[in-house]
Amino acid sequence: MGMGRSGTARGRVVLLGTMLLMLSGFISPAGVVHGAVYSGIGTLEAERGTAVNVMKAGQAGTVHKESKGQWSQPATADPVPQIISRVSPSVVGIIGKAGGETGGPDDRYNLTHGSGIIVRADGWIITNAHVMAGLEKAVVVTSDGTSYNITDTYSDEFSDLALVKIKAKALKPATFAGSAANLQVGEKVIAIGTPISFSLRNSATVGVISGLNRSVDAAYRLIQSDTAINPGNSGGPLVNMKGEVLGVNSMKFAAVGVENMGFSIPADTVKYIMNQLLQYGEVRRPSLGIELEESWPVIVGLPGQEPLTVTKVLTAEARKAGITTGDALYAIDGHRVTSLVDVNELFRQYKPGAVVKLLMQSDGDIVARSLVLGQGDPLVSAAKTEGETDDQTTE
């Protein structure tokens, strides 16, 4: 039996000494056997032609040659269709009536929808908070067309994430990627969701990661991609070429002349919020007990190391620590912070009640403050970049 031929074989094989060659890959110009176990001494010598015969455990095979002295690896199949097929059973559509909206006889068509990701086999699903906001009589539809009523909903508007529960068993949970620190700009990604019409469930678009650590109208950093994210895609996954969920699609820029600027909440932020919602039904965040203002360079997107400025002291713990309005905050436990998102990202590692060391400037002096963290909302800038969320679609 043989691997077949490509074109006309015009070459020769010169065997020197005893050779045992098991070939499952190809042979490079340097004589390295790829994807094979090689034992003995041998030389492969080729003249002009499109192929040469190679002995493979007593069988015939073909090694492809594009041009003289250049050997090509056989083309591999595009992995995207297989990845979509593998991940789609973990993606759901969510549909319901927009809360507070009433109308005439056609009110039954006044629906709004989004997407979601199965995170546990027993019916827990992660989606966007804005997908669930005001949604009444919501129904989850899995990829096989089965409908489920939602029994519980826990939302966190600051992260724009929500956790919903349906009565189901043996669902296929998605696999989430690890830290976003391993991502690279230009990495190929897939967005899966329910764009525009609920009949278009499990639609997929392909693109690349356009940027990382984006601070765009959000309390936490986001992933930017050029995948097509349309109304209804919110809550669906952004998937890498391993079939892992890199993030939850959340928003996009929508304006004349703006194309392919979508943003996703990274998997590590999703897991942090999801674990809090599963454990407490809410997100219990630590708080400095002060209001902070970013420097002008940070607000407009310029590089800079200017500190954060205290604009208001809110709690007794902060006053007890000696913090006053006008003080400048440089670092928390040795971590330099220049933006409100820096503080929010750092505080994923802390719990309320923890004691932190603050490096500050007060009355012209650099001082160290010890502060017991309270519990409160994340820091949000009053001067946000103007972004537009991927609103739910009214059908």
Catalytically annotated residues: 130, 160, 234
Q: CA dist 117 to 64, 189, 230, Å?
A: 43, 16, 17
Whole-angstrom Cα distance, residue 206 to residue 168?
A: 30
Helix or strand holding residue 345 (H, E): helix 340-346
| 260, 228 contact by CB (below 8 A) | yes
Amino acid (1-letter code) at residue 110: N
φ/ψ (deg, to 5) at 263:
-135, 140
Report CA 230 to chain centroid distance, whole Å: 17
Which structure tokens are listed for 87? 């991940």
Dihedral angle sign, alpha carbons of residues 43, 45, 50, 51: negative
- Cα 325 to Cα 328: distance, rounded to the nearest angstrom: 9
What's the token pair of residue 67? 């041009």
Coil, helix or strand for 296?
helix
- Tokens at 231, concatenated: 């109304």
Neighbours of 235 (CB within 10 A): 33
The residues, ordered by sequence, that sit 6+ positions from 132 with a Cβ below 8 Å of its Cβ are 94, 114, 138, 153, 155, 162, 164
Q: Which amino acid is at 88?
A: S
Burial track 58-79 (b if 16+ CB lie within 10 A, e otherwise): eeebbbbbeeeeebeeeeeeee
Question: How far lies 19's CA from each of 57, 69, 90, 345, 368, in Å?
Answer: 10, 23, 49, 59, 72
Give the torsion sign (CA, 123, 128, 134, 139).
negative
DSSP state of 58: T
